[in-house]
């Protein structure tokens, strides 16, 4: 094996490794951004503080993000006689345009609820409250981007309003992601921006003290107990058909929106990997090139009696080392690109999110097509041998 590796041209190794590094970086970057895009609505809507609790998020069946509405009266009837509800809070999320410059999410939430779900501090101005109808609190990052200060007057326009609203900035708030990229207001103001009456919100987050009460609640909705017991949390979308309310359950917020378009989460992932499949041709050629670029030396070894199988095994080991190294370097490169390439959606920055599943799938994907390319190369000389 050492003799085989000594005959591999160093220039071919550099070229192959560079090609593999570029390919793995592109794959991880694309898949990482797609994963981040898929999860962003859930990050926005679902408080991090309740991640370890049995939680049901109740919303309505909506086609577009930030357009769902649910009646608090309907929710009250659903929760009647349910024991051990630890906490429940409402919020409204609505897309608006600030000073006709850019889109932003306005989050309507009670001050007491914000204190529980976010460890925030007021950078300037007064603490958030619901007593001033025309007051707005601006997230730290938006304030820095648009040079907004306490006391400034901003104009908010919304697709649901016939005329813009003129509001006064009462405070600059630092509450972490995603709140630093939002405008925070009272529930009543957010309802006006959304163009709905009191008693309607975008969603309700219901936190249960025990998993058993969580399962009792979902059973009351007519949902399958066994299926729900496998979920860490449930997103219940209420669909109104005449006077009848039909609940549909999802495990992810974005799954609800994507499936509304007829594309369940698995299809979304399948499309992502189908796109990556296009790059399989490049990986296939990389696998072939390590043999074709050193074909003259390999043919000499073959003529000296070294089997083609042994030659390919040695080359495969080199490729595995290249792949493992390129994946590790790609993780560093991808994070650097994420900091350089600024992608946003309704004001929220998208960062590359590479899960362990994506990393494992990408590694297997690159390894598979590279080795397939190597396996198809015929190494021959003056004698014939069947691989």
Evaluate whether residue 306 is within a structural domain: yes
Across the range 39-60, mean pLDDT stands at 74
Looking at the structure, tell me whether residues 48 and 31 fall in a common domain: no
Quote the crossing angle between the two packed helices 308-340 and 10-45, to the nearest 10°.
50
- For a pLDDT cut of 90, what percent of the chain falls above it? 13
User: In whole angstroms, how far apart are CA 205 and each of 70, 71, 186, 275, 340?
Assistant: 12, 13, 17, 36, 35
Q: Residue 58's pLDDT is what?
A: 76
Q: Residue 143's pLDDT is what?
A: 92
Q: What angle do CA 314, 319, 320 make, to 5 degrees?
A: 95
Across the range 85-113, mean pLDDT stands at 86
254: left (phi over 0), alpha (psi -120 to 50) or beta: alpha
The pLDDT of residue 274 is above 90: no
Find the radius of gyration of the CA atoms of the chain: 28
Evaluate whether residue 382 is within a structural domain: no
Q: What phi and psi, each to the nearest 5 degrees, are found at residue 224?
A: -75, 120
The pLDDT of residue 25 is above 70: yes
Q: What is the mean pLDDT of the chain?
A: 78
DSSP-assigned letter for residue 49: G
Which of 11-25, 38-52, 231-245, 366-380 comes out lowest in average pLDDT? 231-245
Closest-CA residue to 71 (of 244, 247, 198): 198
Across the range 315-340, mean pLDDT stands at 88
Q: How confident is the model at residue 326 (pLDDT cuts 50, 70, 90)?
A: very high
Q: What angle do CA 238, 242, 246 make, to 5 degrees?
A: 30
Evaluate whether residue 384 is within a structural domain: no
Q: How confident is the model at residue 183 (pLDDT cuts 50, 70, 90)?
A: very high
Q: How confident is the model at residue 380 (pLDDT cuts 50, 70, 90)?
A: low
Q: Residue 142's pLDDT is what?
A: 92
Looking at the structure, tell me whether residues 50 and 167 fall in a common domain: yes
Number of folded domains that form the chain: 2
Report the distance separating Cα 330 and Cα 322, nearest Å.
Answer: 12
The pLDDT of residue 184 is above 90: yes
Q: How many CA atoms lie within 13 A of 73 on its CB side?
A: 4
Across the range 207-226, mean pLDDT stands at 71
Looking at the structure, tell me whether residues 348 and 325 fall in a common domain: yes
Q: Residue 261's pLDDT is what?
A: 45
Looking at the structure, tell me whether residues 139 and 244 fall in a common domain: yes
Across the range 125-146, mean pLDDT stands at 88
Which of 36-50, 152-166, 276-290, 303-317 comes out lowest in average pLDDT? 36-50
Q: Helix (H, G, I), strand (E, B), or coil: what is residue 157?
A: strand
The pLDDT of residue 262 is above 60: no
User: In whole angstroms, how far apart are CA 289 and each of 17, 25, 312, 330?
Assistant: 11, 20, 12, 21
Across the range 145-154, mean pLDDT stands at 91
Question: Given CA atoms 184, 186, 192, 194 in this order, what sign does their dihedral have?
Answer: positive
- Where among 234, 261, 288 does a domain terminate? 261
Evaluate whether residue 387 is within a structural domain: no
Q: How confident is the model at residue 387 (pLDDT cuts 50, 70, 90)?
A: very low
The pLDDT of residue 131 is above 50: yes
- Where among 235, 261, 287 does a domain terminate? 261
Q: Residue 355's pLDDT is what?
A: 81
The pLDDT of residue 249 is above 70: no
Looking at the structure, tell me whether residues 247 and 291 fall in a common domain: no
Task: Supply 292's token pair.
Answer: 């074709």
User: In whole angstroms, how far apart are CA 233 and each of 93, 175, 207, 288?
Assistant: 20, 24, 10, 47
Q: Residue 74's pLDDT is what?
A: 76
Looking at the structure, tell me whether residues 234 and 168 fall in a common domain: yes
The b/e string for 24-46 (b: 16+ C-beta within 10 A; e otherwise) is: bbbbbbbbbbbbbebbbbbbbbb
Task: Supply 99's token pair.
Answer: 């000073």
Looking at the structure, tell me whether residues 242 and 93 fall in a common domain: yes
Q: Helix (H, G, I), strand (E, B), or coil: what is residue 189?
A: helix
Evaluate whether residue 383 is within a structural domain: no
Domain span holding position 235: 43-261
Task: Supply 183's token pair.
Answer: 């405008």
The pLDDT of residue 156 is above 70: yes
Across the range 99-104, mean pLDDT stands at 85
Looking at the structure, tell me whether residues 10 and 54 fall in a common domain: no
Looking at the structure, tell me whether residues 250 and 320 fall in a common domain: no
Q: What angle do CA 96, 98, 102 make, to 5 degrees?
A: 85
**Peptide bond connecting 107 to the previous residue in cis, omega within 30 degrees of 0:** no
Evaluate whether residue 386 is within a structural domain: no
Higher pLDDT, 366 or 77: 366
Residue whose tokens read 């990052």: 141
Beta strands in the chain (DSSP E): 55-60, 70-71, 85-98, 102-109, 121-125, 135-139, 153-157, 165-174, 182-185, 200-201, 203-208, 233-241, 244-250, 343-345, 348-350
Contact 157, 164 (CB under 8 A): yes
Which of 41-50, 157-166, 263-272, 316-325 comes out lowest in average pLDDT? 263-272
Looking at the structure, tell me whether residues 163 and 97 fall in a common domain: yes
Question: Given CA atoms 246, 249, 252, 255 in this order, what sign does their dihedral have?
Answer: negative
The pLDDT of residue 97 is above 70: yes
Evaluate whether residue 380 is within a structural domain: no
Contact 90, 245 (CB under 8 A): no
Looking at the structure, tell me whether residues 125 and 152 fall in a common domain: yes
Higher pLDDT, 184 or 86: 184
- Where among 243, 261, 279 does a domain terminate? 261
Contact 247, 239 (CB under 8 A): yes
Evaluate whether residue 125 is within a structural domain: yes
Looking at the structure, tell me whether residues 198 and 160 fall in a common domain: yes
Across the range 37-58, mean pLDDT stands at 74
The pLDDT of residue 207 is above 90: no
């Amino acid at each position: 094996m050492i003799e085989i590796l000594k005959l591999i041209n160093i220039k071919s190794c550099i070229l192959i490794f560079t090609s593999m590094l570029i390919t793995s970086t592109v794959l991880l970057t694309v898949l990482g951004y797609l994963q981040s895009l898929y999860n962003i609505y859930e990050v926005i809507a679902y408080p991090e503080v309740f991640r370890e609790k049995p939680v049901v998020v109740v919303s309505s069946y909506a086609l577009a993000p930030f357009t769902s509405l649910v009646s608090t009266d309907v929710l009250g009837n659903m929760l009647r006689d349910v024991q051990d509800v630890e906490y429940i809070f409402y919020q409204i999320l609505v897309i608006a345009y600030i000073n006709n410059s850019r889109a932003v999410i306005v989050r309507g939430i009670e001050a007491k609820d914000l204190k529980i779900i976010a460890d925030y501090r007021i950078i300037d101005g007064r603490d958030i409250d619901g007593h001033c109808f025309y007051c707005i609190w601006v997230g730290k990052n938006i304030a820095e981007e648009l040079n907004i200060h306490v006391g400034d007057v901003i104009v908010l326009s919304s697709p649901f309003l016939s005329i813009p609203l003129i509001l006064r900035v009462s405070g600059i708030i630092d509450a972490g992601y995603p709140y630093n990229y939002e405008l925070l207001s009272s529930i009543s103001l957010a309802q006006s921006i959304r163009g709905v009456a009191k008693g309607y919100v975008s969603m309700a987050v219901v936190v249960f003290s025990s998993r058993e009460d969580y399962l009792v609640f979902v059973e009351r909705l007519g949902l399958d107990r066994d299926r729900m017991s496998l979920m860490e949390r449930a997103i219940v979308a209420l669909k109104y058909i005449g006077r009848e309310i039909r609940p549909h359950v999802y495990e992810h917020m974005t799954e609800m929106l994507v499936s509304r378009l007829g594309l369940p989460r698995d299809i979304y992932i399948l499309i992502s990997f189908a796109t990556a499949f296009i790059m399989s041709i490049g990986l296939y050629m990389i696998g072939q090139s390590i043999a074709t670029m050193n074909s003259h030396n390999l043919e000499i070894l073959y003529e000296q009696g070294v089997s083609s199988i042994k030659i390919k095994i040695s080359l495969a080991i080199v490729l595995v080392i290249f792949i493992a190294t390129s994946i590790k370097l790609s993780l560093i490169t991808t994070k650097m690109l994420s900091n350089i390439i600024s992608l946003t959606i309704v004001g929220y920055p998208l960062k590359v999110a590479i899960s362990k599943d994506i990393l494992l799938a990408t590694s297997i994907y690159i390894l598979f097509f590279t080795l397939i390319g190597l396996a198809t190369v015929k190494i021959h000389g003056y004698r014939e041998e069947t691989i």
